[in-house]
Structure 1
Amino acid sequence: MTAFDAGAPCWVDLTVPDLEAGKRFYGELFGWTFEAGAAESGHYTPALKDGKNVAALAPAEGGDPAGWNLYFATPDAEALSRRIGEAGGKVTAGPSAVADAGTLLVATDPGGASFGAWQPGTRTGFEAQGAPGSFFWPEIYTRDKDAVDPFYESVFGFTGQQISEGTEFDFKLWFLPGAQQPVAGRLQMGPFIPVEVPAHALVYFSVEDTDLTVAKVRELGGSVSREPSDSPFGRSALVADDQGARFAVMGPVANGG
């Protein structure tokens, strides 16, 4: 059973209006297979890559739009809930036990982005990450960095490293205490992102070839809001599935050899 440090991203799931359509899209895009979602658990449907748990899909309720959800690990959901409130966030669900699997809470940060936290029981989170077809990286997209940065740094103990500032690209990396590698990023949404795009957690998935993946997204009825481009971290693109859930993909840089 994989252990996750407090504050590390440990799980992602997708709420989607049409569960079967979601399974078709991501099954063809990433090669995922799916366990049966039990009725007593709201048809929460684990997604597997090469037999390992990498995500889950769940039916959206009450006409909610499709969207990916990000969860951070916590050893104490009750204490985390208190810190969220004290730091200016709002707990919107939980903490609540999910049978013996663990304890879940869902919250919003001061900028309005939703995120979750998971206190493990018999399930800790990802069984695989970083490999093609699995979770790679998260970013918090916000329009209020002045409130959001101290919130996450207080609640999870992150230390921050500002990478770039300005209206075009204002980006910060977050590190767990004492860690050398970042666990998440924060992007201040500027004029290059339409005003109707709300604050949210953006989830990246690793892929073998970003350009081929983007072509497959289009073939499956999805859309592309940022075409593939190279960066020091790899070649990425921002896309949405055929029900409108935004996510990103990251692969090796073009002509990386």
Structure 2
Amino acid sequence: MSTRDEPWPAGTPCWVDYGAVDVDAAVRFYTEVLDWTAEASGPEYGGYVMCRVGDRDAAGIGPAQEGAPAAWTTYLASTDVDTTTTRAADAGATVLAPPFDVGDLGRMSVVADPQGAVLGVWQAGRHIGARVVNEPGGLTWNEAAEPDPATARTFYSQVFGFVWEPVPGAPDDYCTFATETGRPLGGLGGLPGKDVPPHWLTYFSVADTDAFVAAAKDRGASVVSGPFDTEFGRMATVRDPWGATFAVMGGGSAA
């Protein structure tokens, strides 16, 4: 199992959480299809639910802001969330939630990049973010989709120091990003359709993509794309019963 107990390097997609219009129903759906266990926090954390693979934190679910649609949010790690947020604002981002402490768990902010894709910034305290990745139920990839990928790459390079690498066989505007480690941390490309808004997309690892899709559909989800095979695994993009989109990657075959 791929596990971690130390804070993630700056710029790494380190956490995802779900803003739910119905927290209890969302917890039921995601624990059933991703085989998570769930533990609700105390009232001081606003009803936030920690979802785990075994005893390892995998993702969070909490109530959506009033009037906001259900959605997954990707968080990028920072060693100084205040400085990162200021740098993002100076580069054209809109600060949706200025930096604030989450008890002793960490410090965070939420911004919309200049083209409107929403992301969180997380500075680890007691909570480092995901403690299990690249295993069934764990986070395995994050990517941004933007109307103007070249301009978006400039923004993320200015704020997080990303360097970019084209992916052979992928659309021309799709690149992976990395920091000084050189290891690809995620991707960024164009929008998949003219009616799709800018966004960050979360990928979870699953043991069997086709079985996951069938289970999700049985519980009210719909399929946006796939399943289909890639050199990285079998993928599908799913819209949950409340309209939030996420993707999965794993094994399995429709054959």
Choose which of 146, 150, 154 in structure 1 pairs with 2:150: 146
Query: What letter corresponds to residue 212 of structure 2 in structure 1?
Result: T
Quote how far apart the aligned CAs of 1:162 are: 2.0
Describe the shift of the 1:158–1:241 C-alpha distance in structure 2 as closer, same or farther (beyond 3 A): same
Q: TM-score, normalised on structure 2?
A: 0.93
Matched, 1:73 2:77: yes
The equivalent of 1:186 in structure 2 is 188
Mapped partners of 1:30, 1:215: distance in 2: 12
Matched, 1:201 2:227: no
Q: Which runs of 5+ in 1 are unaligned?
A: none
Contact 2:10–2:77 (CA under 8 A) maintained in structure 1: yes
Equivalent residue runs for 1:23-42 within 5 Å: 23-42=27-46
Quote how far apart the aligned CAs of 1:118 are: 0.6
Mapped partners of 2:24, 2:101: distance in 1: 27
Describe the superposition over 1:171-218 as per-residue Cα deviations: whole angstroms up to 9, x where unpaired: 111011242x2001012015xx2x332111100000001111111110
The equivalent of 1:225 in structure 2 is 224
Matched, 1:108 2:112: yes
Specify the SS of the correspondent of 1:221: coil
Quote how far apart the aligned CAs of 1:9 are: 1.0
The equivalent of 2:164 in structure 1 is 160
Structure 1 window deviating more from structure 2 (240-249 vs 33-42): it is 33-42
Contact 1:230–1:253 (CA under 8 A) maintained in structure 2: no
Equivalent residue runs for 1:2-17 within 5 Å: 2-17=6-21
Quote how far apart the aligned CAs of 1:254 are: 4.0
The equivalent of 1:58 in structure 2 is 62
The equivalent of 1:246 in structure 2 is 245
Calculate the aligned-residue CA RMSD, in Å.
Answer: 1.7
Mapped partners of 1:145, 1:172: distance in 2: 9
Contact 2:210–2:252 (CA under 8 A) maintained in structure 1: no
Mapped partners of 2:90, 2:63: distance in 1: 32
The equivalent of 1:21 in structure 2 is 25
Describe the superposition over 1:120-173 as per-residue Cα deviations: whole angstroms up to 9, x where unpaired: 11111111111001111000011121321101111111100122699x663111
Query: What letter corresponds to residue 74 of structure 1 in structure 2?
Result: S
Structure 1 stretches of 4+ with a deviation exceeding 3 A read none
Contact 2:58–2:132 (CA under 8 A) maintained in structure 1: yes
The equivalent of 1:212 in structure 2 is 211
Mapped partners of 1:62, 1:240: distance in 2: 21
Matched, 1:44 2:48: yes
Structure 1 window deviating more from structure 2 (57-66 vs 246-255): it is 246-255
Mapped partners of 2:84, 2:173: distance in 1: 28
Percent of aligned positions that are identical: 38
Contact 1:231–1:253 (CA under 8 A) maintained in structure 2: no
